[in-house]
Structure 1
Amino acid sequence: MKHYFYLHSLSARTALLKILRQPIGNLLNLLMLAISLALPVSLYLGVNSLQHWAGKLNTTPQITLFMELSSEEADLAAVQSSLKNHPRIASFRFVHKDTALQELEKRSGLNAISDGLGSNPLPHAFIVTPRQLEPAALDLLQKELSGLPMVELAQFDAAWARKLHAMLTLASQITWLLSAVFALAMVLINHNTIRMQILARQEEIAVSKLIGATDSFIRRPFLYHAAWQGLLSALLCWGLTSWLVQQANPALAEFASLYGVDASLRSLLPSEIASIIGFAICLSMLGARLAADHHLRKNHPD
Structure 2
Amino acid sequence: MKHFFYLHGQSARTALLKLLRQPLGNLLNLLMLAIALALPVSLYLGVSSLQQWTGKLATTPQITLFMELSSEQADLAAVESSLKSHPRVASFRFVHKDVALKELEQRSGLNTISDGLGSNPLPHAFIVTPKTLEPAALDLLQKELSGLPMVELAQFDGAWARKLHALITLARQLTWLLASVFALAMVLINHNTIRMQILARQEEIAVSKLIGATDSFIRRPFLYHAAWQGLLAALLCWGLTAWLGHEANPALSEFASLYGVDAKLRALDAGEIAIITAFAMLLSMLGARLAADHHLRRQRRNQLP
What is the TM-score when the length of structure 1 is the normalising length? 0.96
Which sections of structure 2, spanning at least 5 residues, go unmatched?
Answer: none
Query: Within 1, Cα distance between the matches of 2:105 and 2:269?
Result: 49
Q: CA deviation at 1:254?
A: 1.4
**Residues 243-279 of structure 1 deviation map (CA, whole Å, 9 limit, x = unaligned):** 0111111112112212212211111111111111111
Query: Within 1, Cα distance between the matches of 2:174 and 2:40?
Result: 9
Indicate the residue corresponding to 2:75 in structure 1: 75
> How many percent identity over aligned positions?
84
Partner of 2:278: helix, strand, or coil?
helix
Partner of 1:300: helix, strand, or coil?
helix
Indicate the residue corresponding to 2:249 in structure 1: 249
Task: Give runs of aligned pairs for residues 152-171 of structure 1, distance below 5 A.
Answer: 152-171=152-171
Alignment-mate amino acid for residue 237 of structure 1: C
Indicate the residue corresponding to 1:212 in structure 2: 212
Query: Within 2, Cα distance between the matches of 1:266 and 1:236?
Result: 17
Partner of 1:265: helix, strand, or coil?
coil
Q: CA deviation at 1:187?
A: 0.5
Task: Give runs of aligned pairs for residues 106-185 of structure 1, distance below 5 A.
Answer: 106-185=106-185
Partner of 2:71: helix, strand, or coil?
coil
Q: CA deviation at 1:66?
A: 0.9
Indicate the residue corresponding to 1:44 in structure 2: 44
Query: Within 2, Cα distance between the matches of 1:111 and 1:274?
Result: 62
Indicate the residue corresponding to 1:30 in structure 2: 30
Which sections of structure 1, spanning at least 5 residues, go unmatched?
Answer: none
Query: Within 1, Cα distance between the matches of 2:17 and 2:81?
Result: 71
Moved more, 205-214 or 21-30: 205-214
Structural RMSD (CA):
1.4
Task: Give runs of aligned pairs for residues 285-300 of structure 1, distance below 5 A.
Answer: 285-300=285-300
Query: Within 2, Cα distance between the matches of 1:152 and 1:219?
Result: 73
Indicate the residue corresponding to 1:86 in structure 2: 86
Query: Within 2, Cα distance between the matches of 1:85 and 1:209?
Result: 72
Query: Within 2, Cα distance between the matches of 1:42 and 1:120?
Result: 54
Query: Within 1, Cα distance between the matches of 2:227 and 2:79?
Result: 63
Q: CA deviation at 1:231?
A: 0.7
Query: Within 1, Cα distance between the matches of 2:255 and 2:108?
Result: 28
Moved more, 206-215 or 109-118: 109-118
Q: Does structure 1 residue 101 correspond to structure 2 residue 101?
A: yes
Alignment-mate amino acid for residue 73 of structure 1: Q
Moved more, 190-199 or 251-260: 251-260
Query: Within 2, Cα distance between the matches of 1:85 and 1:14?
Result: 63
Query: Within 2, Cα distance between the matches of 1:103 and 1:112?
Result: 12
Query: Within 1, Cα distance between the matches of 2:116 and 2:255?
Result: 42
Partner of 1:94: helix, strand, or coil?
strand
Moved more, 215-224 or 84-93: 84-93
Alignment-mate amino acid for residue 54 of structure 2: A
Moved more, 168-177 or 68-77: 68-77
Alignment-mate amino acid for residue 162 of structure 2: R
Task: Give runs of aligned pairs for residues 185-224 of structure 1, distance below 5 A.
Answer: 185-224=185-224
**Residues 52-81 of structure 1 deviation map (CA, whole Å, 9 limit, x = unaligned):** 222221111111011122222222222222
Partner of 2:287: helix, strand, or coil?
helix
**Residues 183-208 of structure 1 deviation map (CA, whole Å, 9 limit, x = unaligned):** 11100100000001111111111111
Query: Within 2, Cα distance between the matches of 1:67 and 1:215?
Result: 78
- Number of residue pairs aligned between Structure 1 and Structure 2: 302
Query: Within 2, Cα distance between the matches of 1:2 and 1:141?
Result: 63
Query: Within 2, Cα distance between the matches of 1:126 and 1:272?
Result: 41
Query: Within 2, Cα distance between the matches of 1:148 and 1:241?
Result: 49
What is the TM-score when the length of structure 2 is the normalising length? 0.95
